[in-house]
Amino acid sequence: MLKQTAQEGDWLCLKNLHLVTSWLPTLEKELKTLKAHKGFRLWLTTEPHEKFPGILLQSSMKITYESPPGIKKNLQRTFQALSTSLSSANTPTLQLTLILAWFHSIIQERRIYIPQGWTKFYEFSYGDLRAGEQILKEMLIDCNANIEKLQWQTGYGLLENAVYGGRVDNEFDMKVLKTYLRTFFNPNVFAGIKLSGVVDVRSAQGLKDVLALVNKLPEQDNPRVFGLPSNIDRSVQRFNSQKVLLALKQLGRVSDQHMKFQREKWSGLLGPLWKLWQTLIKITEFRKIKIKVHKRYFLFSFFFSPSN
């Protein structure tokens, strides 16, 4: 398909390449030897992956998409995606979906606070949300949409073991997930207990009510919504700073026997800092880096040509 579209000048899109990183060197070789029509365009989509070839990235024009953070934005995306299926839903279905969406947004946005929120980054996805929605629909069918007769233990077991819990491999994180499930998916929520002390599920009588609740939420999340202390942001910033300092210290551990420049190691550790530097100064051409390595510190001299 690649050769055919390149010859005919068509466009080709290859999706989710992070799932086939072992095949990407083959794609690189084909692109190097490819004689393409001037109208040919190749689109590649991927999630961040440490084994994605750097040469393939460097030879491509890159567009990065990242969803805006925050519980409010998360819920807005969720109900925008589910608006068609919820347009004619009854009140119990809407309320249960609101609880699921809140739970989903909490565990996703909690990933900002690593390692205090989660010990690592978990890929809780839209597919998990849809699977959870289907489970809740089946539960409502079994009890004839009577909230009082819902089999909560069944929901806990499926969401904990088959859907969201299947991604969690840490004992502490699993306890957090179980706590959220039993706190949100609870009969007390339908008796007036607000979700995270913020959202009253009883006021969601229709889809318009749900959207109104979401739109009233603040743009910036309070850490207490996640059950975290108010000074957690300082801890996260301190943790990120320590990671940068540790990376710089690792650059200084040069072997006394070899004393040779390790290009791949320096590139991997300095990559994030270099990208940030390029973003700040917007320089188009990078000509030369002189690196002088001393026992206790590093001196970096950067020489750039003026930007046009």
Residue carrying the six token digits 């590093």: 298
Specify the pLDDT at position 282.
Answer: 59
140 contacts 89 by C-beta, under 8 angstroms:
no
By CB atoms closer than 10 A (0-12, 13-18, 19+), residue 235 is: middle
Q: Which two tokens stand for residue 307?
A: 């930007």
Beta strands in the chain (DSSP E): 11-14, 41-44, 286-293, 298-304
* Neighbour tally for 150: CB within 10 Å: 20
Q: Residues in the chain with pLDDT < 70?
A: 251-267, 280-308
Closest-CA residue to 105 (of 137, 134, 73)? 73
Between the alpha carbon of residue 244 and those of residues 247, 263, 298, the distances in Å are 5, 18, 14
* Neighbour tally for 158: CB within 10 Å: 19
Specify the pLDDT at position 251.
Answer: 66
Specify the pLDDT at position 293.
Answer: 40
Q: Which two tokens stand for residue 96?
A: 């249960």
Domains of the chain, first to last:
2-58 (3.40.50.300), 71-230 (1.10.8.720), 254-304 (no CATH)
Q: Which two tokens stand for residue 100?
A: 């699921």
**Backbone φ and ψ of 141, nearest 5°:** -65, -40
- Predicted confidence (pLDDT) per residue in 199-220, tens digit: 999 988 888 999 999 999 999 8
Predicted model pTM: 0.65
**Backbone φ and ψ of 266, nearest 5°:** -65, -40
Amino acid at 33: T
SS3 at position 8:
helix
181 contacts 104 by C-beta, under 8 angstroms:
no
Specify the pLDDT at position 176.
Answer: 94
List CB contacts of 302: < 8 A, sequence separation 6 or more.
Answer: 289
List CB contacts of 75: < 8 A, sequence separation 6 or more.
Answer: 101, 102, 105, 214, 217
Closest-CA residue to 132 (of 159, 99, 166, 109)? 159
Closest-CA residue to 269 (of 297, 247, 299, 240)? 247
